[in-house]
Amino acid sequence: MPIHPFEIGLDSFGEVATDGDRTLDDAETVRLLVEEAELAEASGIDVFSIGEHYRPGHVDSAAPVLLSAMAMVTERIRVGTSVTVLSTNDPVRLYHEFSTLDAVSHGRAQLVLGRASATESFPLFGYDIADYEQLFDEKLELFLRLQREERVTWSGATRTSVVDQRLRPRMRPGGIPTWIGVGGSPGSVVRAARHGLPVMLAVVGGRPQRFTGHVALYREALQQAGHDPQPVGQHSLGLVADTDDEAIETWWRYWEPVVTQLAKERGFYQPSRKRYEAELDHGALFVGSPETVARKIARVARDLSLSRFDLKYDVMHLPRRSRARTIELLGREVAPRVREILSKEPIHV
């Protein structure tokens, strides 16, 4: 059967921008994100999503607040999270935040739940990283039950019990669109399938096609669990500019120091120019002119049977004008071109 209509989204991790020779402060970057959500809507983007991080240079630590501000200045675009670290959030509080966001946005809220690739939130909120798996499993079960059932009684090992609770304000019947973020673990796609949830593949390095097996496993697990087919999305990094050369040189200038630091902290690969060019050619970086980026998105959409592609457009200290141009070109030129290419050979699952 055909998958859902193909969507194009933007992801931000709230990384501070620059304006000329000046680095924006945290408050200015928060306000810039609200402006960028407005621009995204005007440019035709389908979804605007905010991450959750607790690192210097990131201002996305209170996503529901930011998303509510965005909802107040937009009318159509859906607002959500590119990752909510469920393991260190309380499901009851999360329900209240997103039922409220869904109300103020007139039903435009959604979110992606993840276990966390960056683990700063565990010590910050007093959780033990040793409980990584159990925390996510139990909190996911509770959060989904709160969305899907009118009254909930629940008990587990990671928080106090919930006894015959009906939360307010209520979400729409059945809850809001809730995706599971997958960073490479086959167990994550099986978990999503067991609950009948869509998956968002976080592809930040290497060939996206290496996730083909994950998608096949997910489809099989959905069928075995008795669920209808669900959307598959991809989150990757990149920049769109008027020419390939401009995009390639701009992204390299700001992406290279970030990945160099991550290599020291978390064992990421060292970002040599050769490796960078390989990522541009057939890897997970979507950098180039509108035609170049559109063709690459369409190619991976077919290979992975995607119904949504989200571009993480911000990187530390990227000039605000480059961020704005990416947003404009992605919505006004890339998205229509992707849909045009895919219309000639529709994706099926």
What CATH number is associated with residue 12?
3.20.20.30
Is 92 domain-assigned?
A: yes
Q: Alpha-carbon distance 94 to 14, whole Å?
A: 20
pLDDT at 129: 93
Mean pLDDT to the nearest integer, 203-220: 96
Task: State the distance between the two ends of the chain, measured CA to CA, in whole angstroms.
Answer: 6
Phi and psi angles of residue 48, each rounded to the nearest 5 degrees, phi first: -120, 125
Parent domain of 177? 7-343
The domain total for the chain is: 1
pLDDT single digits (tens) 244-267: 999 999 999 999 999 999 888 877
Mean pLDDT to the nearest integer, 2-29: 91
Is 348 domain-assigned?
A: no
Is 293 domain-assigned?
A: yes
Is 1 domain-assigned?
A: no
- Under the banding of pLDDT at 50, 70 and 90, the label for residue 3 is very low
Residue 225's CB is within 10 A of a number of other CB atoms, namely 12
Q: What is the largest CA-CA distance in the chain?
A: 60
Is 349 domain-assigned?
A: no
Is 233 domain-assigned?
A: yes
b/e burial code for range 189-213 (CB count within 10 A of at least 16 → b): bbbbbeeebbbbbbbbbeebeebee
Predicted confidence (pLDDT) at residue 269 exceeds the cutoff of 80: no
Is 146 domain-assigned?
A: yes
Closest by CA to 312, choosing from 236, 259, 244, is 236
pLDDT at 349: 58
Predicted confidence (pLDDT) at residue 318 exceeds the cutoff of 70: yes
Q: Alpha-carbon distance 249 to 167, whole Å?
A: 50
Q: Alpha-carbon distance 182 to 202, whole Å?
A: 6
- Under the banding of pLDDT at 50, 70 and 90, the label for residue 348 is low
- Percent of the chain beyond pLDDT 70? 98
Mean pLDDT to the nearest integer, 86-105: 98
CB-count exposure of residue 219 (10 Å: 0-12, 13-18, 19+): middle
How much of the chain is helix, strand and coil, in % rounded to 5?
Answer: 50, 20, 35
pLDDT at 1: 34
Predicted confidence (pLDDT) at residue 173 exceeds the cutoff of 80: yes
Is 247 domain-assigned?
A: yes
pLDDT single digits (tens) 297-309: 999 999 999 999 9
DSSP 53: -
- Under the banding of pLDDT at 50, 70 and 90, the label for residue 2 is very low
